[in-house]
A and B are shown apart, each in its own frame.
Chain A
Amino acid sequence: MIKINHIVEYLQLFFPLIFGLILLAVSISEKAVKKMALVVSLGIFALSFGALFFFNLTYDEVFNWIIVSNQEKTFDFLLFRTRLTDLLILSTSTALLLICVRLYNFSTKNLKLVIALLFIQFSITQFTILSDSLILLFSCFELFGILLMLMFVAVGEKEVLRPVKLFMFFWGASSALIFFSILILASVLGESKGVFDVTVSSIPVLVEEITYFTHKELFLGCLLGALLVRGSIFPFHSWGLQFIKTNIFPINILYSWFYPQLIFCVFYKLITEVFRNDMARYESLVYYLIFFSCLYHAVLIIREEKIHAKIGCFIGVCNSILYLLLFSMKVDEIKYSILFLLSYTLLASGVLFSENQEEKSVKSFEGTRYSFSHIYLFLSTMFFPVSSFFISIISIYSFFLDKNNALGLISIFSFLFVLASIVPFLYQNAFVTIQNGTDKFNIFVRLPAAVISLIMLLLGLYPHIIMELIL
Chain B
Amino acid sequence: MNLGYISAHFIYIYLALIAIVLWYKDSKIKEVVLLSSSLVIATLLLSGIYFETFTSDRFVDFNISNYSRLMGILTLFVVIFYRSEKYFLDRVANFLLLPISYIFVTTEDAFILLGSAIATKSILLSSVSKNLPMNQLRKYKIIEMISIGFLLLFAVFFSISVKSPVFVDIEVENYQLYSLAMIFLVVTIIEISSGIFMGLKSHILSDSTGPARSLYFFYGIVVVLYKLILVINNLLIEAEPEFQRSIVSFIKYYAPINFFMHNFLAINQSDIKKFFNRIISSLLGLVLLSVIVVKSGSIKAELIYYLISILISYILISEIYDLAKNSTDASIINENPFEALYRRNKIATVVFILAVLNLVGIPFTYGFSSKFFFLLNYFQEGYIYPMLVILLSSVFVLPDVMKVISSLFSINKESMVLNFGMNKTLFLILFSILIVIFGVYPKIYF
**Nearest neighbor of A214 in chain B, beta-carbon distance:** B384
Q: From residue A88, how far is it (CB to closest CB) to chain B in Å?
A: 21
Docked complex Cα distance between A161 and B399 (Å): 9
Instruction: List chain B residues, Cβ under 8 A from A57.
Output: none
Kindly identify, within residues 369 to 391 of chain B, every residue whose CB is under 8 Å from any CB belonging to chain A: 369, 372-373, 375-376, 379-380, 384, 387-388, 391
Closest 4 interchain pairs by CB?
A: A139-B363, A165-B399, A172-B398, A153-B406
Helix, strand, loop or mixed for chain A's interface?
helix
- A110 with B379, Cβ < 8 A, contacts A154-B409, A169-B395 known: no
Instruction: List chain B residues, Cβ under 8 A from A179.
Output: 372, 391
- A75 with B395, Cβ < 8 A, contacts A146-B362, A153-B405, A183-B376 known: no
- A168 with B398, Cβ < 8 A, contacts A74-B443, A75-B442 known: yes
Q: Is A223 an interface position by the 8 A CB rule?
A: no
Instruction: List chain A residues, Cβ under 8 A from B375.
Output: 183
Interface residues of A (CB under 8 A from B): 24, 68, 71-75, 109-110, 113, 135, 138-140, 142-143, 146, 149-150, 153-154, 156-158, 160-161, 164-169, 171-173, 176-177, 179-180, 183-184, 186-187, 190-191, 195, 215, 218
Instruction: List chain A residues, Cβ under 8 A from B402.
Output: 149, 153, 164-165, 167-168
Assess the B363–A173 pair: CB atoms within 8 A.
Answer: no
- A161 with B395, Cβ < 8 A, contacts A186-B376, A187-B380 known: no
Assess the B391–A75 pair: CB atoms within 8 A.
Answer: no
Assess the B362–A75 pair: CB atoms within 8 A.
Answer: no
Instruction: List chain A residues, Cβ under 8 A from B368.
Output: 139
Assess the A160–B391 pair: CB atoms within 8 A.
Answer: no
Docked complex Cα distance between A135 and B440 (Å): 11
Interface residues of B (CB under 8 A from A): 342, 350, 353, 357, 360, 362-364, 368-369, 372-373, 375-376, 379-380, 384, 387-388, 391-392, 394-395, 398-403, 405-406, 408-411, 440-443, 446
Assess the A186–B379 pair: CB atoms within 8 A.
Answer: yes
Instruction: List chain B residues, Cβ under 8 A from A138.
Output: 363
Q: From residue A313, how far is it (CB to closest CB) to chain B in Å?
A: 24
- Cross-interface CB contact of A180 among B342, B364, B391, B440, cutoff 8 Å: B391
Assess the B405–A150 pair: CB atoms within 8 A.
Answer: yes
Assess the B353–A150 pair: CB atoms within 8 A.
Answer: yes
**Nearest neighbor of B408 in chain A, beta-carbon distance:** A153
- Cross-interface CB contact of A187 among B342, B376, B395, B442, cutoff 8 Å: B376
| Residue picked from A74, A143, A168, most chain B C-beta under 10 Å | A168
Instruction: List chain A residues, Cβ under 8 A from B353.
Output: 150
- Cross-interface CB contact of A176 among B394, B406, B409, cutoff 8 Å: B394
**Nearest neighbor of B363 in chain A, beta-carbon distance:** A139
Known A113-B409, A139-B364; 9 more pairs at CB < 8 Å: A73-B443, A109-B411, A110-B342, A167-B402, A169-B395, A172-B398, A186-B379, A187-B380, A190-B380
Docked complex Cα distance between A363 and B405 (Å): 28
Assess the A180–B388 pair: CB atoms within 8 A.
Answer: yes
Instruction: List chain B residues, Cβ under 8 A from A72.
Output: 446
Q: From residue B169, how far is it (CB to closest CB) to chain A in Å?
A: 33
Assess the B395–A176 pair: CB atoms within 8 A.
Answer: yes
| Residue picked from B353, B372, B409, most chain A C-beta under 10 Å | B409
- A218 with B350, Cβ < 8 A, contacts A138-B363, A186-B376 known: no
Q: Can you list 28 A-B contacts with CB-CB less than 8 angstroms, sorted by A residue number?
A: A24-B350, A72-B446, A74-B443, A110-B409, A113-B409, A139-B368, A143-B362, A146-B362, A149-B402, A153-B402, A153-B408, A153-B409, A161-B403, A164-B403, A167-B402, A168-B402, A172-B394, A172-B398, A172-B399, A173-B395, A179-B372, A179-B391, A180-B387, A180-B388, A183-B375, A186-B376, A187-B379, A215-B384
**Nearest neighbor of A170 in chain B, beta-carbon distance:** B395
Assess the B398–A195 pair: CB atoms within 8 A.
Answer: no
Docked complex Cα distance between A135 and B357 (Å): 18
Instruction: List chain A residues, Cβ under 8 A from B399.
Output: 164-166, 168-169, 172
Docked complex Cα distance between A156 and B410 (Å): 9
- Cross-interface CB contact of A73 among B360, B379, B411, B446, cutoff 8 Å: B446
Assess the A176–B392 pair: CB atoms within 8 A.
Answer: yes
Assess the B441–A168 pair: CB atoms within 8 A.
Answer: no
Instruction: List chain A residues, Cβ under 8 A from B380.
Output: 187, 190-191
Instruction: List chain B residues, Cβ under 8 A from A165.
Output: 399-400, 402-403
Docked complex Cα distance between A173 and B397 (Å): 11
- A184 with B379, Cβ < 8 A, contacts A75-B442, A173-B392 known: yes
Docked complex Cα distance between A389 and B409 (Å): 39
- Cross-interface CB contact of A164 among B373, B406, B410, cutoff 8 Å: B406
Q: From residue A209, how far is it (CB to closest CB) to chain B in Å?
A: 14
| Residue picked from A179, A186, A218, most chain B C-beta under 10 Å | A179
Assess the A183–B392 pair: CB atoms within 8 A.
Answer: no
Instruction: List chain A residues, Cβ under 8 A from B440.
Output: 75
Q: From residue A435, how far is it (CB to closest CB) to chain B in Å?
A: 39
Instruction: List chain A residues, Cβ under 8 A from B373.
Output: 73
- Cross-interface CB contact of A172 among B350, B379, B395, cutoff 8 Å: B395
Instruction: List chain A residues, Cβ under 8 A from B442.
Output: 73-75
Instruction: List chain B residues, Cβ under 8 A from A75.
Output: 369, 440-442
Docked complex Cα distance between A186 and B342 (Å): 39
**Nearest neighbor of A72 in chain B, beta-carbon distance:** B446
